[in-house]
Structure 1
Amino acid sequence: MGDYWHANRSLYEDIGKKPSEQQVYQRAKDSLKRKDFFKFGFNYYEVWENDIYEDLDKIMFKLFPATTTRKASETDDDIV
């Protein structure tokens, strides 16, 4: 999620900055979407823009553990 448009709490409220009316509206929409994901049994991971800039590898491992831990072979012979 974009830190500005979705008003990342760690960058706004935690430092005493009040979100704009548009940001409050966007948060409400985000909340409804999140509830729908859970209601229909989907996993939901919220990834903030700031988290990506701070530690992309950590985010990638959380989202795609199998693909980020697999070592590539030295040859392409085993690719079908």
Structure 2
Amino acid sequence: MIKIAKVDNFSEFDRLKEDEKKVLLKALGYDINERGFVVEEHTQNIVWCRYTNKPVKFDEASILPGSTIIINTTPVSLSSYIEEFLEDE
């Protein structure tokens, strides 16, 4: 049987303006490098999406509610996050 993640309420998910997302990333210890990738502020290491195994570009980044997890905004990564963290709420 295939298990499908289900979320009844998406009110926790908000769309941030670009400047708001930059401020939030900075507050969480991240920055954006000259190529547009999200990086760890102190090491400048590029952040990799835990679900897509690809580097996270600022314009494709999602900051997940209630966490410091930064992922690529794709159907696969979002559904994986929902399945891992929200499904049983």
Task: Sort the TM-score into its range (normalised by shorter chain).
Answer: under 0.3
Bigger share in strand: 2
* TM-score, scaled to structure 1: 0.23
Bigger share in helix: 1
Task: Flag the structure with larger Rg.
Answer: 1
